Amino acid sequence: MLDAARGLLACPTCGQGLDADARPVRCRAGHSFDVAKQGYLNLLGAPPPAHADTSAMLDARARVLASGAFDAVDALVARRARGVRTVLDAGGGTGHHLARLLDAVPTARGVTLDVSVAAARRAARAHERAASIVADTWGTLPLLPGRFDLVTCLFAPRNMAEFARVLGDGGLLLVVTPDADHLASVRQRYGLLGIEPDKDDRLLRTASGLFEPVGRQSVRTPLAASAELVGDLIAMGPNAFHTAPADVVGLETELAVTVWLFRRR
């Protein structure tokens, strides 16, 4: 619900705080924004880009998440979030990961940002203590500075300078990245997009000066994926923008990711 964002939102036009209780939502300068009937707030100010997740991609992701394939990741993220009060999930998609975190941390409330309107519609229903906002995580985030205890970024774009700005002193940034073995058998069989070999070095470089790394843990979960699940694993990500394979079969594969924890300097 949008009241979970009370005291956290900033006007994308002037940067002043937005009154999340008003309808339409407005700032003191008079800029106003309508809340969609589905409950999300669109602060993008432009049509979604061509790379925004589609409804079909989100349907596939919802089925994968409902299968429990990422439960171990959600459990670890929730453990890392103990004691936090305000959470930003950047590139939060359907709101699933933030909802699982909020289930485990009953004193917390959160905001999920995504550039996809289709994702925001789903995220608006994800949890009663989560607010769903349409915004570009590569740009200036429509959030007030220093208001968050934790930023989570699971398989999503990382705007490190903005993450540091919206975190309070000593705030935490949790990043989940795929390892080289992540879904390797699926990627190899169907020629899917690869995982950059220098991704860890790039993450540490972009964090340098803004964050200090304070934790790193691998999560590995074997998956006996049915043909339907393999199809959804392909369809839920950027590979969906390419030609879908016609001969999808069940495969033994593995979820292999790293959960990084950084502290704001």
Which pair of tokens denotes residue 134?
């349409």
Give ∠ CA 139-32-99 in degrees, rounded to 5: 60
Strands (E), the chain: 25-26, 32-33, 41-42, 86-90, 109-114, 130-134, 148-154, 167-178, 211-225, 251-264
Q: Is 244 in contact with 234 (CB distance < 8 Å)?
A: yes
> Encoding tokens for residue 102?
């909020």
Q: Which tokens is 221 given?
A: 């979960």
Task: Give the number of other CB atoms < 10 A from CB of residue 111.
Answer: 31
What are the phi and psi torsion angles at 153 (to 5°)? -145, 95
The answer to whether residues 10 and 18 touch, using CB atoms and an 8 Å cutoff, is yes
User: DSSP of 92-146, one letter per residue?
Assistant: -TTSHHHHHHHHH-TT-EEEEEES-HHHHHHHTTT-TTEEEEE--TTS--SB-TT
The predicted-structure confidence for 30-62, as pLDDT tens digits, reads as follows: 999 999 999 999 999 888 888 899 999 999 999
**Nearest 5°: phi and psi at 87?**
-130, 135
Bridge partners (DSSP) of residue 242 are: none
Amino acid letter for position 71: D
Distance of alpha carbon 189 from alpha carbon 253, whole angstroms: 11
- Domains detected in the chain: 38-264 (3.40.50.150)
d(CA 109, CA 106): 8
Q: Note the pLDDT of residue 50.
A: 85
Low-confidence ranges of the chain (pLDDT < 50): none
Q: Give the C-alpha separation, 67 to 45, whole Å.
A: 35
Query: Within a 13 Å sphere around the CA of 154, how many CA atoms are in the beta-carbon half?
Result: 20
| Whole-number pLDDT of residue 196 | 82
